[in-house]
Chain A
Amino acid sequence: MMKKKYCISSYCHIRDNTISLNGKTIYTGQHSDLKSLTKSAYRHFDIDYPKFFKMDNLSRLGFLAAEILLTNEGVLPENEEDIAIVLSNRASSLDTDRKHWESIRDSHNYYPSPAIFVYTLPNICIGEISIRHKLYSENSFFIFDEFNPNHLFSYANGLLDTEKTRKVLCGWVDVDGPVYKAFLYLVGKEGPVLHSIEEITRLF
């Protein structure tokens, strides 16, 4: 059987105070932390989704990258498009785990926050993207020591080959203290970049 070829139609990076879409910088700022970067980017792109401000850093980062990428692709929630989500990172939900831990460690000042606890799982980030864009397709979150293009490549191909989905939103969303990076890309039948391990590695 001939292996089908797929393409990357758009990709988005958020790193070092800079947001870029398909390699072009579309927003840059001077922010001391991820929270203020994502907030001002939210304003800059005129996003109307107040729940954004309740999200933790990991979800904000993934949400923002997905928002920019899917808006560019013309994906509308009302169409409930068939897009699967496969994300990965290194630090899991560690950034928020620490915050939850801080709130339970002192028995004299013990007021753990449910709003923080709900984000102590990395795949909540996928949930937030799914809720926003009404994506009911398959989704999974993997943890690796470092970016693993082989895994993402074969997982996305598997989903597309077996027609489990029409498109796959893939990538890396990682937050660990002050260090953060998001790289999302959309794989489907058409697009300017060939979906291959080399290209994914190059774009990352």
Chain B
Amino acid sequence: MEALKEELKSKIIEQLNLEDVSVDEIADDDPLFGDGLGLDSIDALELIVMLDKDYGIKLADPKEGKKIFESVGTMADYIAQHKTK
């Protein structure tokens, strides 16, 4: 689980071009959207693509992303339960 969280952090930084953020600056329960990392709706869509591409999880409705992408912790939980690759 810890490894997955670390992996997610570096993927988020790389995929979403968070140039000035490093892995150890993101806590597991930091909010990703809003005041936290300040991600926006396009970033959310980009994370949906990442779930599909890297973990074989397809979300049909972008609204589902809201709960899943609350923090790195919630993302890791969801991926651990649903991943198909």
**Secondary structure dominating the interface of A:** helix
* Complex interface: chain A residues within 8 A of B19 (CB): 39, 50, 52-53
- Taken residue by residue from 90 to 122, chain A's Cβ proximity to chain B (1 for < 8 Å, 0 otherwise) reads as 000000000000000000000111110010000
Q: Are A114 and B38 in contact (CB under 8 A)?
A: no
Please pick, from B38, B43, B53, the residue contacting A115 in the complex, using a CB distance under 8 A. Answer: B43
Q: How far is the CA of A53 from the CA of B16 in the complex (A)?
A: 9
Nearest chain-A residue to B19 (Cβ)? A53
A24 at the interface (CB under 8 A from B): no
Q: Are A118 and B18 in contact (CB under 8 A)?
A: no
Q: Are B42 and A53 in contact (CB under 8 A)?
A: no
Q: Are B17 and A53 in contact (CB under 8 A)?
A: yes
Among the stretches B2-10, B44-52, B68-76, the one at the interface with A is: B44-52
- Taken residue by residue from 19 to 58, chain B's Cβ proximity to chain A (1 for < 8 Å, 0 otherwise) reads as 1100000000000000000100011011001001100000
**How many residues of chain B get a CB closer than 8 Å to chain A's CBs?**
13
Contact residues on A (Cβ < 8 Å of other chain), bracket: 10 to 19
* Complex interface: chain B residues within 8 A of A115 (CB): 16, 42-43, 45-46
Q: Are A118 and B42 in contact (CB under 8 A)?
A: yes
Given A50-B38, A118-B42, are A113 and B20 also a contact pair (CB < 8 Å)?
Answer: no
* Complex interface: chain A residues within 8 A of B16 (CB): 54, 115
* Complex interface: chain A residues within 8 A of B52 (CB): 111
Nearest chain-A residue to B45 (Cβ)? A114
Q: Are B46 and A50 in contact (CB under 8 A)?
A: no
* Complex interface: chain A residues within 8 A of B38 (CB): 50
* Complex interface: chain B residues within 8 A of A39 (CB): 19
Q: How far is the CA of A92 from the CA of B2 in the complex (A)?
A: 45
- 4 more contacts with CB within 8 A, not counting A111-B52, A111-B53, are A53-B18, A53-B19, A113-B46, A114-B42
Q: Which A residues lie at the B interface, using CB under 8 A? A: 39, 50, 52-54, 111-115, 118
A-B contact pairs, 23 of them (CB 8 A): A39-B19, A50-B18, A50-B20, A50-B38, A52-B19, A53-B17, A53-B18, A53-B19, A54-B17, A54-B42, A111-B52, A112-B49, A113-B46, A113-B49, A114-B42, A114-B46, A114-B49, A115-B16, A115-B42, A115-B43, A115-B45, A115-B46, A118-B42
